[in-house]
Chain A
Amino acid sequence: MCLAVPGRILEVYQEEGLRMGRIDFAGTVNRACLDFVPEAGEGQYVIVHAGFAISMLNEKEAQESLQALREFAETQEGEHQPAANPATLQDS
């Protein structure tokens, strides 16, 4: 019940005094209330739970953390020879 899913805002509109959005969840489009993320606009990603966007998805953080994980995995892959001395993940 705490599950929430990232989706991209296709369109923002008003309904019953609330700021609503049409959200694309990888091809499935559904609506969500955007009142808790006033800064979110079309084309941006939000995290949606029970029909409400509970936070913006920080795309910069997402890409940076993924990049750090990938770079580390590649250095580990290079060093994962039996005799290799394992590198450690920098404090991220």
Chain B
Amino acid sequence: MRYLSEYRDPDLARSLLRQIRQTVTRPWVIMEVCGGQTHSIVKNGIDRLLPSEIELVHGPGCPVCVTSLELLDKAIAIASRPDVIFASFGDMLRVPGSEKDLFMVKSEGGDVRIVYSPLDAVQLAKENPDKKVVFFAVGFETTAPSNAMAVRQASRGGLSNFSVLVSHVLVPPAMKALLNSPQNRVQGYLAAGHVCAVMGWEEYEPIARQHKVPIVVTGFEPVDILLGILMTVRQLERGEAKVENHYLRAVSREGNRPAQELIEKIFEVTDRNWRGIGVIESSGFRLRPEFAQHDAEQVFDLTDMKVSEPSSCISGLVLQGLKKPHECPVFAEECTPQTPLGATMVSSEGACAAYYSYGRADLLSGARSNQDDPE
């Protein structure tokens, strides 16, 4: 596939691996921010090909995984109403709420539909004037322009029966929160390529300077990831801490201005509760007041939500890069993609799902024997 398969070329991958081995002289901990990058790393076995000095830590860049349990329970409550058509991207449907997931709501008769684009949800609102159509607007900055456009189209079209349940999160505040954590071990970052395609990479420069960490804008294919790792290791070995863009075919310094302008018009920054991590200041978007009629949290009265998280799930620690999936006591036992306890096992970008799908269960014996040794 043009501009994809070229970046899966084994010769280029081998060459980059060789250069990484020649460059690294001591241990380094690097985080790939995006769940899509995590899946590419584990699927292609990059974590196993790298020299042992390099540890890859998986970041919180999976919007499905970080959507708060409270918001998910709100989605489930809305979707259960007979007067609602609830539209969502597919991977939100199997994320476990306190009692059930959206798939169960569908099986119990709720009108829950999977859509390809937020504009499809706007079309549903047009075609079903007697129903309230609600779109689950989940995502990082990558998805914000699309959801903003859906609200703009509904607003212009006078579709008062259309609203969005917003769960938008932002990468830079999450990176700062992780960097400010006393448990932080991460020394360099692979920035999420498609977040930067929209937002550019200027907002990462103060983070690199202040926290003295190299940040390399990285793509998603194996060659892209290996190039991102090589350039991060180079900086670390030289004691440098700057932002470099190595996803040149898709990302420019200023990003996509028309997309940023529409985001600015429709959304405003707010505090956001990240599942497994907690509230991070100014780390999300919400609709501006002038679009309140399209804000599902205001259209529907959802005040008395009782939220409970399975205690055995450590997805919060996995999302912060403090634990690896196989270090979870219920990984691949009670918690599997068929019976997920946490969102990181459900989402196609979750680290636990990646470890389970691409055969990292062999790491279990080591992890579990460590757990048995008294500290």
Tell me the dominant secondary structure on chain A's binding face: mixed
**Does A69 make an interface contact (CB < 8 A)?**
yes
- Identify which of residues 10-64 in chain A touch chain B, using a CB-to-CB cut-off of 8 Å: 16-18, 25-26, 30, 32-33, 35-38, 45, 47, 49-52, 54-55, 57-59, 61-62
Cα A26 to Cα B6 with chains together (Å) = 13
State which of A3, A5, A33, A70 has its C-beta within 8 Å of the C-beta of B119.
Answer: A33
Smallest Cβ-Cβ distance to B231: which chain A residue:
A92
Interface string of B245-270 (1 = CB under 8 A from A): 01011111001101100100000000
Is B73 interfacial (CB 8 A cutoff)?
Answer: no
A69 touches B227 (CB 8 A): yes
Q: A61 to chain B: which residues have CB within 8 Å?
A: 248-249
Residues of chain B lying within 8 A (CB to CB) of residue A77 = 11, 15
Q: Is the beta-carbon distance between A4 and B19 smaller than 8 angstroms?
A: no
A1-B64, A73-B14 in contact; A59/B249 too (CB < 8 A)? Answer: yes
Complex contact B62–A33 (CB within 8 A): no
One of B191-199, B271-279, B357-365 contacting the partner: B191-199
Partner of A69, one of B12, B34, B36: B12
CA distance A8 to B4 in the complex (A): 12
B223 cross-chain contacts in A, Cβ below 8 A: 69
The winner among B4, B91, B143 for most chain A CB atoms within 10 A is B143
Pairwise interchain contact A76-B15, C-beta atoms closer than 8 A: yes
In angstroms, Cα B278 to Cα A28, docked, is: 41
> With a CB–CB cut-off of 8 A, which chain A residues contact B256?
36-37, 54-55
Contact of A49 with B149 at beta-carbon distance under 8 Å, contacts A2-B63, A80-B18 already known: no
Are A35 and B258 interface neighbours, CB within 8 A? Answer: yes
Q: A2-B142, A58-B249 are in contact. Are A30 and B62 (CB under 8 A)?
A: no
Q: Is B25's CB within 8 Å of the partner chain A?
A: no
Q: Are B145 and A54 in contact (CB under 8 A)?
A: yes
Q: Which residues of A contact B198 (CB under 8 A)?
A: 54-55
CA distance A51 to B121 in the complex (A): 12
Beta-carbon contact of A51 and B119 below 8 Å: yes
Docked Cα-Cα span, A36 to B143, in Å, equals 12
B118 within 8 Å of A by Cβ?
yes
| CB neighbours of A36 from chain B (8 A) | 145, 256, 258-259, 262
Complex: A8 Cα to B120 Cα, angstroms: 22
A73 CA / B15 CA spacing, docked (Å): 5
5 contacts between A and B (CB under 8 A): A1-B89, A58-B252, A69-B12, A69-B223, A73-B11
Assuming A16-B153, A59-B249, what are 10 further A-B pairs, CB within 8 angstroms? A1-B63, A1-B348, A1-B349, A6-B3, A17-B156, A25-B1, A51-B119, A57-B249, A57-B250, A58-B250
